[in-house]
Every structure is written in structure tokens, then in C-alpha cells.
């Protein structure tokens, strides 16, 4: 019985690990499409959807099986970051999206970790990671960004569409930054008012 419980509790983490494993073939297929002009579209589509579905499934399963954990949350962020940053790197290398967008994403990751720590300290909670709606939507858009390339056969001017998404996400990430800073400041003020 304990082995079954252990298995079910670790299925979400297994899905996050699967995503990490799938990142390399995903990037290599994109690379081969550009360099060798090969058509591995079926493999690219399958890998893309497996990455996305595993991302959705791990969170849903963790909540349903009541096995959410800080380790699982960290593993999810690591796998998402690896997928998005390597995807962005390959698209930057082949001059599909601008280099500065990777810098923006790295800065957002650093800001996310710092503000999560500040929020954790303010709320005196055990939670390690704190999301805001704008940031969550923008990161979801970045995760879907490679899908524009995956379906380039039906999305005319896919490079233009990808760059439009890049600019929209950049604006949203800036709004997310101010939203999180505002939350930290207002939370501090709210606590002070309650204490006085």
C-alpha cells in the first residue's frame, strides 16, 4: 500500500522530469529543421504537445492527489525555465526573435525569485513560490511561443507573429514586476496598520 501511495505522490514530479528529458530532443529537432532543412514536423508536434500536456498535468495531478510540495514546485519551475530558455536561445540563434528578450526573461526569473522570497518573509509562510496573474499569463504565452514555429506551415509570417508575442509578453512582464513590487509594499503597509 505504501509503495502505491509513494508512486502516486511522485507522478507529478515524474512528469516534470519527463519535460526536462524532452527539452533536448525538442531543441535538436528545431535545430535540424533550420540547419538541414529536414521535415521532422510530426516528431516536433508530438514533443511539443507532450511538453505542454505534462506541464498542465503535473500541477493538476499534484492538487488532485493532494501531494503538492515545494520540491515539486521547484522542479516544475526548473523544467519550465529549461524549456523556455533553451527554446528562446535556439530562436535567437537563428535570428527569429531578438536577443534582448532572453535578457528580459532572465531578469524576470531573478525578480520572481527575489520577490517570492520577500513575499514569503512578509507573510511568514512556508511557501517558497508566489505567482501573480499577469506574470503567470505572460510565462504561459512564452511557453506557447515555440508552438507558433511548430505550426509554421499554417501560421503565415510566423516570425512576425512570434515577435508580436515577444513584445506583448515584454509589456506584461513589466506590468507583472510593478504588480509584485506594489503587492510587497502594500502588504507591508497593511500589516503595519493592523499592528497599530
Tens digit of each residue's pLDDT, the chain (196 residues): 466 656 666 787 888 889 999 999 999 999 988 888 777 688 899 999 999 998 888 878 877 877 777 777 788 888 989 999 999 999 999 999 999 999 999 999 898 888 888 877 776 666 656 778 898 899 899 999 999 999 988 888 999 999 999 999 999 999 999 988 888 888 655 555 554 5
Sorted by where each starts, the structural domains of the chain and their CATH numbers stand as: 2-195 (1.20.120.1760)
Are residues 105 and 88 in contact, defined by beta-carbon separation less than 8 angstroms? yes
Residues 6 or more apart whose CB falls under 8 angstroms from that of 104 comprise: 170, 173
Q: Are 137 and 172 in contact (CB under 8 A)?
A: yes
In sequence order, what DSSP letters do the residues of 91-118 get, joined into one string? HHHTTSS-HHHHHHHHHHHHHHHHHHHH
Distance CA 151, CA 156 (A): 9
Separation in Å, CA 156 to CA 18, 101, 130, 162: 31, 22, 37, 11
- pLDDT for 62: 77
**pLDDT of amino acid 104:** 94
Query: How many angstroms separate the CA atoms of 39 and 150, rounded?
Result: 11
Q: How far apart are CA 15 and CA 44, in angstroms?
A: 19
Amino acid at each position: 500500500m505504501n509503495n502505491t501511495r509513494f508512486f502516486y505522490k511522485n507522478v507529478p514530479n515524474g512528469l516534470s522530469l519527463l519535460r526536462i528529458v524532452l527539452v533536448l530532443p525538442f531543441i535538436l529537432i528545431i535545430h535540424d529543421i533550420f540547419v538541414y532543412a529536414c521535415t521532422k514536423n510530426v516528431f516536433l508536434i508530438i514533443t511539443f504537445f507532450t511538453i505542454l500536456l505534462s506541464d498542465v498535468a503535473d500541477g493538476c495531478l499534484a492538487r488532485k492527489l493532494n501531494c503538492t510540495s515545494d520540491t515539486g514546485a521547484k522542479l516544475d519551475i526548473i523544467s519550465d525555465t529549461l524549456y523556455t530558455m533553451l527554446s528562446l536561445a535556439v530562436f535567437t540563434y537563428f535570428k527569429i526573435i531578438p536577443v534582448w528578450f532572453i535578457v528580459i526573461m532572465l531578469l524576470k526569473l531573478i525578480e520572481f525569485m527575489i520577490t517570492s522570497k520577500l513575499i514569503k518573509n512578509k507573510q511568514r509562510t512556508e511557501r517558497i513560490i508566489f505567482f501573480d496573474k499577469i506574470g503567470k499569463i505572460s510565462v504561459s504565452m512564452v511557453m506557447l511561443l515555440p508552438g507558433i514555429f511548430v505550426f509554421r506551415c499554417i501560421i503565415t509570417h510566423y516570425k512576425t507573429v512570434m515577435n508580436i508575442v515577444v513584445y506583448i509578453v515584454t509589456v506584461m512582464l513589466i506590468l507583472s514586476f510593478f504588480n509584485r513590487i506594489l503587492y510587497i509594499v502594500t502588504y507591508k503597509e497593511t500589516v503595519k496598520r493592523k499592528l497599530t
